[in-house]
Amino acid sequence: MKSLIENITAIQVESPVDKIIGQLKQLIVSGQLKPGDRLPAERVLSERFGVGRSYIREAILKLEFYGLLRTNPQSGTYVAGLSINVIDNIISDIIKFNKDDFNALIEARYHLELNAVKLAAERRTDEDLESIKSAMEDYEKKASTGGDAVEEDMVFHIKVAKATKNSVIESMILILVPDLIKNIVQNKICGDNRAKTAIEEHRKIYAAIESQDMAKAEEAMASHLDEIWQISKAGFAAQNIINEAEV
């Protein structure tokens, strides 16, 4: 019986983004989309897949990040000039990426955002400050009245990432942050009152970026993420105990 149970694995429910990526993979592998071919417009893809354009944008962003698509602002998005075999293998790895490895995702986000906020403090422009402040205020309006401020929270962190002037860091945060914030909020991992306590934490992050104090910016972000960081560390410690017990 034990061996039978061990051979049963959890059912993986694909997200709309993974399904879009999977279908694009099939079009490339089958030769219907070849390296160098241009993808249909975002609006057309949205209609054909039957999903919102935000899902199409996220799928394209992920494939761009891994170098499988390239976008020219004037002419559109193209399949990269890689061999079909390389594209097939990389896309398979992207789809198999384990979003349920929550502790690893938190750890990656923690270190990424600490470095991002330091760069934001160093490089931010007045325009960046306005964008971050606007996102912060939008979050406060929702959170202070008990509203669902998940999207506003995402936008705040994305605006901070944008101020780094590093497109790779921005892309990585765009990939990591949305799923994490949704998971944390929906499962109340940090408690029911977390949204309101984050208001003051956002203000401290903004103030440090405004004053271009990199050390204070890092300290403020670390404090903001400390609760989930402790959860991640506890999760890794527990997994190590389990692994040692199985040896």
Q: What is the mean pLDDT of residues 128-154?
A: 90
Query: How many percent of the chain have pLDDT more than 90?
Result: 30
Q: What is the pTM of this model?
A: 0.60
Return the structure tokens found at 42. Answer: 């975002």
195 vs 179: CA distance, rounded Å:
17
**Residue 19: its pLDDT value, please?**
86
Among residues 148, 170, 75, 160, the alpha carbon closest in space to that of 124 is found at 160
Q: How many CA atoms lie within 13 A of 155 on its CB side?
A: 16
Q: CB under 8 Å to 143, separation ≥6 — which residues? A: 149, 152, 195, 196, 198, 199
The pLDDT of residue 210 is above 80: yes
**Residue 103: its pLDDT value, please?**
73
Q: How many CA atoms lie within 13 A of 138 on its CB side?
A: 16
The pLDDT of residue 116 is above 90: yes
Q: Concatenated DSSP letters for 194-244? A: HHHHHHHHHHHHHHHHHTT-HHHHHHHHHHHHHHHHHHHHHHHHHHHHHHH
**Residue 10: its pLDDT value, please?**
47
**Residue 5: its pLDDT value, please?**
46
Distance from CA of residue 59 to its chain's centroid?
12
The pLDDT of residue 52 is above 80: yes
29 vs 21: CA distance, rounded Å:
12
b/e per residue 148-157 (b: at least 16 CB within 10 A): ebbebbbbbb
Instruction: Look at 15-19, 114-118, 218-222 and tell me which has the smallest mean pLDDT.
Output: 15-19
